Amino acid sequence: MNTADIESLVAPVAAAHSLEVDRIEVLSAGKRSVVRIFLDGDGPKGRGPSLDDIASTTRAISAAFDDADVTRGRPYTLEVSSRGVTRPLTEARHFRRNTGRLVAIDAAGEQLTGRVLSVDETAVQVDVEGQSRSIPLDTITRAVVQIELNRPLEADELEAEDAVEDEEEEEED
């Protein structure tokens, strides 16, 4: 199975669902192959695709695989997923989709951890210990999102949480 053939089939399907192909992996698993497709995109809030986005795109990709003989008749297992939070941030769009999140960055020989404030095509603004720092993207050698179990909620998340609490109070009355 050729990843270029798979990408030429999958990329337009993903684009039709406002997503993009992040990467494709094809692994041998006995007589079968495992085709893993990782998707990314802005999603409904500009922070990556939702589970519903991935699910509907998975159904469309599966149908495209059924219609085309990309696997040349070989049995396969199709796995479709989001890019994943543990993947390195390598492009401006990756930082933009993680605005508000804590990231560890290695840049210009310096290691720092801060919260992404904003990003443009040349630099990312990061709050490091209360100070805003502009880090040129071309100096970043590694950047990854730090998993926070008690991440501060954004304004829209607070509103949604308040709405749920209001509904629960109404049900109790």
Q: What is the pLDDT of residues 28-63, one digit of tens each?
A: 888 899 999 999 998 877 778 989 999 999 999 999
Q: What is the pLDDT of residues 120-157, one digit of tens each?
A: 999 999 999 999 999 999 999 999 999 888 766 665 55
Model pTM score: 0.72
Quick check: is 116 in a domain? yes
Strands of the 20-29 sheet, one edge to the other: 20-29, 32-40, 76-82
Based on the domain organization, do 8 and 63 belong to the same domain? yes
Rounded-to-integer distance, Cα 113 and Cα 102, Å: 7
Rounded-to-integer distance, Cα 8 and Cα 20, Å: 12
The number of domains in the chain is 2
**Whole domain around residue 132: which residue ranges?**
92-145
